[in-house]
Structure 1
Amino acid sequence: MRRNWIEAAAPLLAVMVLGGCATSKDALMPRGPQTMLDVWNQETGGGAGGALPARQLLDARQSLRRALTEADVQRAPAANAAYTRTAANEIYRQFHRLPNPDLVMYVFPHLAGSDPVPVPGYTTVFPLYQRVQYAMPGERLEDY
C-alpha cells in the first residue's frame, strides 16, 4: 500500500519540477524600454540633459556640509590622541594574560635511583596550565 503511494507521487513530482523549467524568462521578468545605460545616466545625471540632476546633487552635498564650531576645534586634538601611538599606548597590553594559578605540591621523603639514595621531603611549585593563555580585547577587565 505504501509503495503504491510513492509510485504515484514520483511522476507527479517529476512533472511539477519539469514544469518549472518550462517557464520563459521574459514571462517572469519582462524587459522595459530602458537599458542599463539609460538608467545609469538618469540616476547619476550623466548623458544628455544631465545638468539639472548634477546641479541637484551638488546642492544636496552643500546642504550636508557645515562649518566647524569652536567646540569641534577644541575636541579635535583629544579625539586624534586616541589614535596616535605613544609610549603609554605601546606599554598598555591589549591582550591580557589569563590567570595561571600555581599549584604547590609536597614530595614526601623517599628513596631514589638504582642505589637507594634517600631524598628528603620538599615542596615544589608548578603552573596549572602548560601554556600561557591570553584574553581577547575586552574579555577580561581585571588587571593581573
Structure 2
Amino acid sequence: MRLNWIKPLLLGIAAVMLAGCATHKDELLPHGGRTMQDIWHHEAGEGGSGQVARRQLLDVRQSLRRPLTEADMHAAPKEQAGYTRTAANEIQRQFHRLPNPDLVMYVFPHLAGTDPVPVPGYSTVFPLYQRVQYAMPGERVEAY
C-alpha cells in the first residue's frame, strides 16, 4: 500500500523536469535586435573611439567644479605646511615604527637526532612579526 503514492510522485517530478527542458532560450532571455557591437558603439560614440563619452565626462566634471574663495586661498598654505618637508622637519620621522613585541617560548626537554640524545628544556625569544612594520603619518603618535 505504501508504494501506491510514490509512483505518481515520481511521474509528476519527471513531467516537471521535462517541461523545464522544453522551454526555448528566447522566451527565458529575450535580447531584442541589438548586438553587442551596437551597444558598444552607442555607449562609446564615434565608432567606438570613446571621444564623445570622454567629452561628456569632462563636461560633467566641469559643471561640478567651483572656484576657490579668498578664504580657501589664505587657508591653503597652513593646511599644506604639515605635508611639506623642510630642513626643520626633515629630521623628524613621518613613518613611525610600530612595536614588534618579543615572544618568549619555552621548549620542553626532548630527545633529538637520529640517535635520540636528550636535550634539556630552554627558553627562546623571537619577534612577533617577521618584518618591521611602519605606521602612516599621524596614525600612531604616542611614544613606545
With normalisation by structure 1, the TM-score equals: 0.46
With normalisation by structure 2, the TM-score equals: 0.46
**Rg larger for:** 1
